[in-house]
A and B are shown apart, each in its own frame.
Chain A
Amino acid sequence: MRIGGPVAIRNQVYGWLLLTPAAFLLVAFTHYPAVATLAQSFFTQGTALHPSKFIEFENYRFMFDDPVFWKVFRNNAIYSSITVPTSIAFAILMAIWVNEKLPLRGLVRMAYFTPTILPMIAVANIWLFFYTPEIGLLDQILGRFGFQSPNWLGNTDTVLGCVIVLAIWKDAGFFMIFYLAALQSLPVELEEAARLEGASRWYYFRRVTFPLLMPTTLFVMINSLINSFKLIDHLFILTKGGPDNASSLLLYYIYEVAFSFLDQAYASTLTVVLLALLALLAVGQFTILDKRIHYR
């Protein structure tokens, strides 16, 4: 800290004055609630008759014995570990196609990107009809070919898969544009050289393009992971977490506990788990991966 002449002091005052309005709101709605969530997780849910009281790790003990918690945790792990890599793979494929000379390129690019600007609630309404038993589109098509189809959203084996397919469809086009930007910044000479050497397309992709896209992949991966924790809108329309919590995700369970079962103390405890996961992600991003991948 250097406090020197009048310019330095002026800097101090102006700097903080400019920052104050934003800082006030950030503290009120990001930092304070994060800390308060942690604090709340050590208390009981207060009622008019029984004021909230300190119970150490009782909420956490309850959580570890709560089979629903483990179920949604497992669901979220499956959901994230399938949606993230699959939407990245689709995004890369789309970007490569759209970056080349492709007939109707503009139209194809628009088609890939369109799901991004539609609200999740709206697209879930549309997909709900695809999955509806018997009268739904999927069942009608399968029926014409003589297949028996399960009740897609009513079956604990298929419901999570249905939700995952929708999530991939929604995200892939959004991630495509980051890859498109990255591909357009790659030097053309690289590819010409590779072609002269007689490298196959797949070889060129695997040894040149994909490694060079690594910073983009990291960026997309982090965002896609955050998305897989925080975007749960489609569950409200498609499944409400059911049947038997088979499609419920962590944040949806938090919502249910807080606003349907009205146990905010336990909901806070669950939120702490989510915050811890995000913190882990942040630490991973800043320490391990940033050292190995060079940003410009």
Chain B
Amino acid sequence: MSARLHAGPGRALEIAAAWLLGFLWLFPLLYAVWAAFHPSQAAIRFDVFSPLTLDNFARAWSLAPFDRYFFNTFVLVTLILVVQLVLCTLAAYAFARYEFFGKNVAFALVLLQLMIMPEILIVENYRTMSALGLVDSILAIGLPYMASAFGIFLLRQTFKTIPKELEEAARIEGCTDLMILWKVFVPLARPTYLAYGLVSISYHWNNFLWPLIITNSVTTRPLTVGLAIFGAPESGVDWSVISAGTLMAVAPLLVAFLLFQRQFVQSFMRAGIR
């Protein structure tokens, strides 16, 4: 960490600029919070001293099935994360510890998904899902993301740093391959799992395009899609209520972020450095 000791007006100006930028970056969220707690007339006139109210939240909650959307998103995010963790662990273990025919080609093919993400392949994946009869199901939202190249890559890197001696010691103790994976590799890779988990949860909590395409009913729609329908100008809902709905949708992730800021930042950092 570099700590400079500057002084003078240049330094003061720089601090002011850093603060101003921070304010600008936080402003939309602050504004949404302010609008959500004030009557809608105040938002339009930007009347700072109008009375506080919770009406907007009550109205938003009654105007759209947010409880169902929350449930759907929760199921979706959990389903994706659990399957991702299992599949990526197994595949990463294969890449880190086994010599098999076609390993390098297979690894290159896995990495291809870092470039060609499921978002790009919406047309064909939709056809596949209709052929499978899965359109409008939570499973269909998750399927294209479950084998994550990113997760495989990240875990493989971690597994490769685990010393061979540990593995051999476990083998002498009579552990099978899968037991070694479970008792040696998985516990030692815990920070990577945490990092990957946080990134995956935030990604899928926020994901929109594919869920929009593949769902068409209240029983499957995640929060983001529900929010988009709710906030559409055609719905005629006023601005303060939209703010309240928007805040409700982002609240769980935002609160988690504010509480575990350090873990979030470090996770994103760890996940990005390859």
Contact = CB atoms under 8 A, between A and B. Distances in A.
A271 interface: yes
B90 A19 contact: yes
9 contacts: A19-B90, A29-B143, A101-B5, A122-B250, A126-B243, A129-B35, A230-B119, A237-B231, A255-B213
Interface residues of A, number: 101
Contacts of A18: 90-91, 93-94, 98
B124 interface: yes
Interface stretch (B24-32, B50-58, B187-195): B24-32
A258 B26 CA distance: 37
A107 interface: yes
A233 to B, nearest CB: 4
Interface of A: 1-2, 8, 11-12, 14-16, 18-19, 21-26, 28-34, 36-37, 40, 90, 93-94, 97-104, 107-123, 125-130, 135, 137, 140, 169, 172-174, 177-178, 180-181, 183-184, 186, 188, 191, 219, 223, 226, 229-233, 236-237, 251, 254-255, 258-259, 264, 267-268, 271, 274-275, 278-279, 281-282
B100 interface: yes
Q: Is the interface of A mostly helix, strand, loop or mixed?
A: helix
A67 B261 CA distance: 47
A267 B123 CA distance: 7
Contacts of A28: 128, 143
B273 interface: yes
Contacts of B90: 18-19, 21-22
Contacts of A112: 21-22, 25
Contacts of A113: 264-265
Nearest to B87: A22
Size category, B interface: 35 or more
Contacts of A191: 2, 4
Given A126-B31, A219-B272, A108 B18 contact: yes
B48 interface: no
Contacts of A178: 269, 272-273
A107 B35 CA distance: 22
B59 to A, nearest CB: 15
Nearest to A13: B100
A125 B246 contact: yes
B218 interface: no
